Structure 1
Amino acid sequence: MRIALPLTLAALVLGGCASHKPEDFNGTWINQDAITAAVKQGNLRQALNEHGPVFEWKLDVATQRASYSNGFEASDGQLSANDKQWLATFEGGATEQLSLDGDELQTVDQRGAKQRFERAKTPSGNNAPLGSSFEQALYQAYLGGAWTIMEGPGKGANVTFSDSGNVTGLPGPDRFALCLAGDCATMGGSNDSLWLERNQRGAPFIIKRNGNQLEIFQAVNRAQPDEMPMLAAGKRQWLLQHN
């Protein structure tokens, strides 16, 4: 039977390496570096690749649980303390070292790769899937605000993308999702892609963001019938201008 490490003991173990209390680790942490790079560079896939692979952590010291999301799937592990920092251990023996540097959470995987995370300002509810807090922050930063259709169906209309995945102003679709990882990222190759749907029926689109402009292209499948789809930009459907 596994015996939980008491919080008081954990605090003593970690007392020499940081001034933080164990409970300071608690909460939802998001990869703000990836979001900032996506907005600055415009290229979402490049930003996620450079600052991934993990985009969100959720830590609970009291229950010794550590979970993370890579934008496609989530992993749940056990949180414990060693002689210098916290350790998250996952199925198969994979581990991540966790430490706090000021207000940032820093992680180091078994290969020595480092990432840093900021506490989510408005974390998603307890029933929301892991990764939702990062996704909402990304949507707000990358697509938030008011847009105007400069070219394409509905020209002149105002468009808004909400952080909950609703879109208004585009003729037809009322829901959207940015492709972050998994099969949809593989199918898009180096392209950024956006899923648009209404009544649970939709299609992928290729997007290109350049400053205050967002181009949305029809997705063309360049793969053979027996191959995984490989999407490329076809005819431009909309050109949006950020107000």
Structure 2
Amino acid sequence: MRLLPLLLLAALLSGCASTPNNDPSGTWINQAAIDAARESGRLREALLAYGPNLEWHIAPERQQASYSNGFELAEGRLQNAGEGRWQVTFYGDYNEQLAMQNGELVQITSEYWPEQHFARVSGEPKPLGSSFEQALYRDYLGGDWLIEEGLGQGGLVRFNSDGQVQGLPGAERFALCLAGDCAAMSGEHDSLWLQAGDQGSPWLFVHEGNQLRIFEAQNRAQYDEMPEYQPGPQRWLLKRR
């Protein structure tokens, strides 16, 4: 007689445990792009290979879905398409399809974008794009870096997930270039923005293993053209401890 209640309880718990796997609610980030950048050191290549979209916010209760690609934000109307799929309709009546597969949010291949996979993140809601950015900063540049060459030699540098940088002379904040104009201006090179107070400038960098080389960004374009940056003199060589 005790077996039936136990079976019913097990079924109930099983159903509850499986619900999150089919629920697209929440924040999803392109962890594959972060992993590829961390392993190869080449940020732009990783974003191009696994992007372009970097983060989704899904709110079925409000029929809303929005994404960030590191440069633009877009919000669409979310509709349940059945069989674990959802359709997102954006301004201009173009659609994207989302699906849940093995606990991941999958953006289905479309005429605009390739298939992309996203991992759910927990915690308090953040502005769209912030969760990906913070995870990237933590995984890609996290830890302590020793200044082996350059101003401040022998000191330690820390790039924080909130965009603050400590120990790098002349810089208080940083931002990695993910997409948009900064990517167009730096071409095949990875770039970041370093800022102190209200003054900042772009820099190019090469991330190889536990080394980070930061170069001056020299503009090769004419004064009336969009900047075209190429690596100039190396300013710092950092080594992760």
In the aligned structure 1, how far is the partner of 2:122 from the partner of 2:213? 30
Q: List aligned pairs for 1:176-191, cutoff 5 A.
A: 176-191=174-189
What code does the residue aligned with 2:69 have? N
Cα deviation for residue 22 of structure 1 reads: 9.3
Alignment TM-score, normalising by the size of structure 2: 0.88
Aligned length: 222
Is the 8 Å Cα contact of residues 136 and 164 (structure 1) preserved in structure 2? yes
Question: What residue is the counterpart of 1:114 in the other structure?
Answer: 115
Query: Equivalent residue for 1:74?
Result: 73
- For residue 97 of structure 1, give the secondary structure of its aligned residue in structure 2: strand
Deviation at 1:241, TM superposition (A): 0.2
| SS state at 2:23 partner | helix
Following superposition, the deviation at residue 121 of structure 1 comes to: 4.1
CA deviations 1:39-93 (Å, max 9, x no partner) are: 1111100100111110000000100000000001100000001243111111011
Partner of 2:34, secondary structure, is helix
CA displacement at 1:21 relative to structure 2:
6.5
CA contact (8 A) 1:20 1:100 kept: no
Runs (5+) with no aligned partner, structure 1: 1-18
Is this contact kept in 2: 1:23–1:61, CA < 8 A? no
**Highest CA radius of gyration, 1 or 2?**
2
Residue 91 (1) aligns with residue 87 (2): no
Aligned partners of 2:73 and 2:214: how far apart in 1? 29
- C-alpha displacement at 1:109, in angstroms? 4.4
**Deviation beyond 6 Å, 4+ runs, structure 1:** none
The one-letter amino acid paired with 2:95 is T
CA RMSD of aligned residues (A): 1.5
Gaps of 5+ in 2: 1-17
Residue matched to 1:60: 59
For 2:154, which of 153, 156, 165 is the aligned residue?
Answer: 156
- Contact 2:212-2:238 within 8 A present in 1 as well: yes
Q: Report if the CA contact (8 A) 1:88-1:95 is conserved.
A: yes
- Higher mean alpha-carbon deviation, 86-95 vs 112-121, is at 112-121
* Percent of paired sites with the same residue: 50
- TM-score for the superposition, normalised by structure 1: 0.88
Question: Structure 2: which amino acid aligns with 1:118?
Answer: A
Answer yes or no: is 1:236 the counterpart of 2:234: yes
Query: Partners of 2:24 and 2:33 in 1: how far apart?
Result: 21
Q: Does 1:204 align with 2:202?
A: yes
Question: Between Structure 1 and Structure 2, which shows a larger proportion of helix residues?
Answer: 2
- How big is each residue's C-alpha offset from its partner over 1:79-135, in whole Å with a ceiling of 9 and x where there is no partner? 00124311111101121111111211111143272111000244xx54x43100000
Moved more, 83-92 or 182-191: 83-92
CA distance in 2, matches of 1:102, 1:117: 11
CA-to-aligned-CA distance 1:178-232 (integer Å, 9 cap, x gap): 0000100100000000100011211100000000000000100011112110011
In 1, Cα distance between equivalents of 2:234 and 2:122: 36
Question: 2:115 corresponds to which letter in structure 1?
Answer: K
Q: Give the Cα–Cα distance (whole angstroms) in 2 for the partners of residues 129 and 62 of structure 1.
A: 18
* Residue pair 1:207, 1:217 contacting (<8 A) in 2 also: yes
**C-alpha distance in 2 between matches for 1:67 and 1:210:** 34
> Matches of 2:45 and 2:225 in 1, distance apart?
24
- Distance in 1 (CA, whole Å) between partners of 2:232 and 2:151 is 16
Q: Please give the per-residue CA displacement for 1:127-170, whole angstroms capped at 9, x wherever unaligned.
A: x4310000000000000011000000000000000000000001
**Cα gap change, 1:203 to 1:225, in 2 (>3 Å):** same
Are the equivalent residues in 2 in contact too, given 1:95–1:109 (CA < 8 A)? no
Q: Is the 8 A contact 1:38 1:47 kept in 2?
A: yes
